[in-house]
């Protein structure tokens, strides 16, 4: 199986590489459109600020490529947010895959949300064998509100979409690669999709 992690200069890519290795697979880093198109699974990472990450995608042309991919694609954290219509962070347009606008938590809660919170209302093959209310590791100041494409919900200030799915596109606000054995299991489920 060929796993490609999209390399556009954003994100803690090494942790995802190591998690995939622990699951017995190997991933390659690439920003080459042909290599990304030919992959069995594509992971779209991201940590940092939305508008500068989006700028890097635009400069590399990856913004046009990603929405056309046909194989399972997993956006993680900022990766997921960039797959939405737009983000309040830096007022940037997103890739428009998920029909939802990313907004910021208010000062009623500590921002960023940092730490372990529960995921529930799970509905996707991504969560095969995962119980409701498992804890995942999250670090974020912006979030996707509840919407029809939500496949997991988390409660912080409001109930929001902590994972999204549309067709072959998946996104998790949490970091499966940093969420212990259960997180690794979710990443493993993604790698098993279409098998």
Partner 1 sequence: MLTKRIIPCLDIKNGRTVKGVNFVDLRDAGDPVELAKIYSDEGADELVFLDISATEERRKTLVDLVRKVASTINIPFTVGGGISSVSDVEILLQNGADKVSINSSAVKNPQLINDLAQKFGSQCVVVAIDAKQIDGQWIVHLVGGKVPTELNLFDWAKEVEQRGAGEILFTSMDNDGTKNGFANEALAKLSDLVNIPIIASGGAGNIQHFVDTFVVGKADAALAASVFHFKEIEIKTLKKELKNNNIEVRI
Q: Which residues are catalytic?
A: 77, 175, 177
Q: Which residues of 125-143 are buried (b: 16+ CB within 10 A; e: fewer)?
A: ebbeebeeebebbbebebb
Bridge-based pairing state of the strands 41-44 and 73-76: parallel
162, 173, 179, 189: which one binds partner 1 (CB under 8 A): 179
Q: Assess contact for 46 and 76: CB atoms under 8 A.
A: yes
CB of 112 to partner 1, least distance (A): 5
Sole window of 10-18, 34-42, 96-104, 164-172 interacting with partner 1 (rule: CB under 8 A): 10-18
Sole window of 26-34, 63-71, 92-100, 112-120 interacting with partner 1 (rule: CB under 8 A): 112-120
Q: Assess contact for 141 and 149: CB atoms under 8 A.
A: no
Strands (E), 62-149: 73-76, 84-87, 92-93, 98-104, 113-119, 134-140, 142-145
113, 124, 153, 173: which one binds partner 1 (CB under 8 A): 113
Q: Is 25 among the residues that bind partner 1 (CB under 8 A)?
A: no
Residue among 54 and 65 whose Cβ is closer to partner 1: 54
Q: Is 118 among the residues that bind partner 1 (CB under 8 A)?
A: yes
Coil, strand, or helix at residue 55? helix
Q: Is 111 among the residues that bind partner 1 (CB under 8 A)?
A: yes
Binding site for partner 1 (CB under 8 A): 12, 14-15, 18-19, 21-22, 47-49, 78, 107, 110-118, 135, 137, 139-141, 155-156, 175, 177-181, 183-184
């Amino acid at each position: 199986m060929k796993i490609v992690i999209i390399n556009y200069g954003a994100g803690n890519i090494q942790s995802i590489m190591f998690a995939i290795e622990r699951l017995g697979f190997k991933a390659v880093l690439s920003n080459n459109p042909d290599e990304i198109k030919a992959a069995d699974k594509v992971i779209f990472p991201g940590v940092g600020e939305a508008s500068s990450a989006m700028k890097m995608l635009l400069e590399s042309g990856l913004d046009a490529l990603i929405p056309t991919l046909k194989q399972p694609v997993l956006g993680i954290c900022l990766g997921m947010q960039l797959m939405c219509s737009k983000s309040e962070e830096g007022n940037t347009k997103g890739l428009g895959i998920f029909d939802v606008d990313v907004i910021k938590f208010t000062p009623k809660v500590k921002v960023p949300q940092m730490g372990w919170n529960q995921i529930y209302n799970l509905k996707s093959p991504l969560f095969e064998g995962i119980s409701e209310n498992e804890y995942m590791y999250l670090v974020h100041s912006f979030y996707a509100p509840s919407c029809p494409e939500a496949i997991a919900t988390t409660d912080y200030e409001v109930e929001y979409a902590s994972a999204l799915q549309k067709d072959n596109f998946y996104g998790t606000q949490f970091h499966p690669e940093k969420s212990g054995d259960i997180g690794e299991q979710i990443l493993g489920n993604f790698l098993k999709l279409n098998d």
